Amino acid sequence: MAAAGGNEATVQSPTTWTAASPLTVLPGVGPVVARRLAAAGLRTLRDLLQFFPRRYRPLRELIAPVADAVGTLVRLQGTVRSVRSAWLPGRRSMVTFEFASADGTPFHAAFFNQPWLRKNWPPGTERGLEGQLERDGRRSYCGKRALPLPMAPDRAPCSCVIPRSRAWGRRAWWSGSAPCWRRSIGRRCRCRRCRPDSTSCTLPPRELFLAMHRPTDVATHERARLHFAVREAVALFAAVEQARRARTARQGWSFATDAPLAERIRARLPFALTADQDLALAALFGRLRGPAAMGALLQGDVGTGKTAVAVAVALAVLARGGQVAFLAPTEILAAQQAAAVAAWLGGSNVEVILLTAALTRAERQAIGERLRTGGRHLVFGTHALLSASVAFACLALVVIDEQHRFGVDQRMALVQKGKDPHVLVMTATPIPRTLALTMFGDLDVVTLRSRPPGRRPVPARFLATDRWPRVLRSIARAIRRGGRVFVVCPAVGEDGEKGGVVRMQQVLATRFKTALVHGRLPLAERQAAIAAFARGDTDVLIGTTVLEVGIDVPAATLMVVAAAERFGIGQLHQLRGRVGRGRRRGLCILCGVDGERVRAVSRTHDGFELAEADLALRGSGELLGTAQSGFAELRALDPVDDLGLLLRVRAAVRDR
């Protein structure tokens, strides 16, 4: 329960609270809870105030249970008539109350794991309850499968909308097991006043917050939400518009990308481009020729061949004497891209350079020196590229792969190393149109939809955890047929923890030739493991999500994801994109606990559809998380529902 860790000694009087006060001023928030809240991005009272519920459900106030309300949320008042408690397997308990409503009709409510309620609510107690009205046999329940929520004693009885707070990552206790928390904000909004201070004077009036957390009716809530949504949209587009103006005002490098050059570039690639790649390339070359610096987003599902397009664009820029920086999220990916492209460009005058944190300082300095003096440099690198000590003589194109792994400030750090360079960002997580508009309102979007010939989508099959022996048989079969196998686990688990790669390797090493990669191993070791796997010295590569991006081993045919429920839709989709890259068809086995995300990935291969599903499941807020977008998280604005509002605000901001 959230009250654990309460630290009464440090509780200050509410009159000294400000919007910037730490959450520990709240009764019941001690260091433990504060840490959890901080992990969810909540540190101050302001954060908590602005942590709006994601959904609202209308609630009916009833005198007694009625048949036509079954399945909806209701509020019922009643007097406790009798109590029964029972212990369930696994040290769980259930307390069932029988209430009499005002007209005498009985109804029940069942509470899990709150045995103390029996003592707290003896027969005769009057309580208000909110919950889903259900029928079980001849009994009516106010909350059975869905938990009933006892009303707080000081509740205003007029509210007819229940906010549903967002689940926090895997810990859903905010909304589930600690209903008191859900309401505490609303109560505090009502009964305490934050003293204005220098930082809080920008906060809207508290009535608006109240209407967000404890709306009295749908219309009041929608008015308040629109207020916050418009504020957010204006802030968002002001930033986007500023970036757009800055970019188009600059004179980019106008590149002549004539037909002979395009032919020469195509000849350098080891394959003929697909029709989609051709179109994308033509569009991007068009931007290079334009008067302003290019700002483009190249999006396409895993395996649609974005790298080849980006490299072709890079070659055009290199041919005209500019330097190119290619930013990748992991060292493995950067190294792999550098190696592949170096092979394509063998015998040309382009110098392919790899710059990662794994190099020694002296090596990095030597590279820095070369970049500063200039040349036909195509640099692949990780965050090490962003370091202040890296400078370019004439950086003309910045390519950012897997853009969602970087924040806006990181992308900007690289862009600012050049004088108005062209920018190409790439994403394998297709972005629904509405989100593209908000995240990349200032970029031109180019999309790859088809795949290179022979690359078939990889089906995903779900197997419950208890069918692990069958997974083992599938691994053995894949190897027997000459394929290789990835096994991905959600954690490192160096202490042998369950669900960790270390333990997984111990299990699998007894039967297969295995290698291990995770983020805590030195790069050289990781690369050695991947190289051994690519050569076929080992058959099974066990890793964390470092395997998610970019790894290209054509012989790999099977991807096993353990504890698949702990991965996001985007991650699962990326992971299955790692197999079936060669002649043989790939298969992905998702092992774990069934769930929406696992089901979505098993159902469809279409990255766009998955992105929409992801959006619906998670809400846009998380997709747009600060780390990703650099914009403050959208709290009230819903880029899907509020598309109309977004477009209007964008037009208004542009005309300003």
> For residue 446, what are the β-bridge partners?
298
Contact (Cβ atoms closer than 8 angstroms) between residue 490 and residue 559? no
- For ligand ADP, the closer CB: 262 or 394: 262
Alpha helix ranges (H) inside 358-500: 361-373, 408-415, 433-439, 468-480
CB atoms within 10 A of CB 206: 14
* Binding-site member from 36, 183, 213, 306 for ligand ADP (CB under 6 A): 306
Q: How far apart are CA 481 and CA 585, in angstroms?
A: 12
Residue with the shortest CB distance to ligand ADP: 305
- For ligand ADP, the closer CB: 168 or 344: 344
Q: What's the half-sphere exposure (Cβ side, CA atoms, 13 Å) at 188?
A: 21
271 binds ligand ADP (CB under 6 A): yes
* Binding-site member from 265, 302, 317, 471 for ligand ADP (CB under 6 A): 302
- For ligand ADP, the closer CB: 158 or 267: 267
586 binds ligand ADP (CB under 6 A): no
Shortest distance in whole angstroms from residue 280 CB to ligand ADP: 11
* Binding-site member from 78, 295, 305, 418 for ligand ADP (CB under 6 A): 305
Shortest distance in whole angstroms from residue 587 CB to ligand ADP: 18
Alpha helix ranges (H) inside 86-217: 117-120, 179-191, 206-213
222 binds ligand ADP (CB under 6 A): no
- For ligand ADP, the closer CB: 247 or 576: 576
Shortest distance in whole angstroms from residue 218 CB to ligand ADP: 44
* Residues with Cβ within 8 Å of residue 410, at least 6 apart in sequence: 383, 386
Q: String of b and e for 28-49 (b: at least 16 CB within 10 Å)?
A: bbbeebbebbeeeebbbbbbbb
Shortest distance in whole angstroms from residue 353 CB to ligand ADP: 20
229 binds ligand ADP (CB under 6 A): no
* Binding-site member from 48, 178, 294, 308 for ligand ADP (CB under 6 A): 308
Shortest distance in whole angstroms from residue 281 CB to ligand ADP: 11
Residue 254 DSSP SS3:
coil
Binding window for ligand ADP (CB under 6 A); candidates: 118-126, 300-308, 488-496, 609-617:
300-308
Shortest distance in whole angstroms from residue 430 CB to ligand ADP: 11
300 binds ligand ADP (CB under 6 A): yes
Q: Give, in degrees to the nearest 5, the angle at Cα 341 between 251 and 478.
A: 135
Distance of CA 320 to the CA centre of its chain: 38
- For ligand ADP, the closer CB: 379 or 428: 428
Q: How far apart are CA 25 and CA 45, in angstroms?
A: 9
610 binds ligand ADP (CB under 6 A): no
552 binds ligand ADP (CB under 6 A): yes
Shortest distance in whole angstroms from residue 402 CB to ligand ADP: 8
304 binds ligand ADP (CB under 6 A): yes
274 binds ligand ADP (CB under 6 A): yes
CB atoms within 10 A of CB 504: 24
Q: How far apart are CA 130 and CA 140, in angstroms?
A: 13
How far CA 584 is from CA of 189, 303, 449, 603, in Å, comes to 60, 15, 21, 21
Contact (Cβ atoms closer than 8 angstroms) between residue 328 and residue 381? yes
Closest CA to 518 of 536, 530, 533, 534: 530
Place of tokens 């998610």: 548
How far CA 349 is from CA of 261, 288, 340, 371, 378, in Å, comes to 15, 22, 16, 15, 11
CB atoms within 10 A of CB 420: 18
* Angle, helix 218-249 to helix 206-213, in steps of 10 degrees: 110
Binding window for ligand ADP (CB under 6 A); candidates: 201-209, 266-274, 316-324, 589-597:
266-274
277 binds ligand ADP (CB under 6 A): yes
The residue count of the chain comes to: 656
5 binds ligand ADP (CB under 6 A): no
- For ligand ADP, the closer CB: 306 or 618: 306
- For ligand ADP, the closer CB: 140 or 330: 330
Binding window for ligand ADP (CB under 6 A); candidates: 37-45, 190-198, 271-279, 381-389:
271-279
Q: String of b and e for 217-230 (b: at least 16 CB within 10 Å)?
A: eeebbeebbebbbb
CB atoms within 10 A of CB 23: 18
Q: Which of residues 508-537 bind ligand ADP (CB under 6 A)?
A: none
Shortest distance in whole angstroms from residue 274 CB to ligand ADP: 5
Q: Give, in degrees to the nearest 5, the angle at Cα 358 between 354 and 362.
A: 80
- For ligand ADP, the closer CB: 23 or 352: 352
Shortest distance in whole angstroms from residue 452 CB to ligand ADP: 3
Query: From residue 445 to residue 474, what is the string marking binding to ligand ADP with x (rule CB under 6 A)?
Result: -------x----------------------
Shortest distance in whole angstroms from residue 148 CB to ligand ADP: 48
- For ligand ADP, the closer CB: 319 or 328: 328
303 binds ligand ADP (CB under 6 A): yes
- For ligand ADP, the closer CB: 47 or 552: 552
Which residues sit at the interface with ligand ADP, rule CB under 6 A?
271, 273-274, 277, 300, 302-308, 428, 452, 552, 581
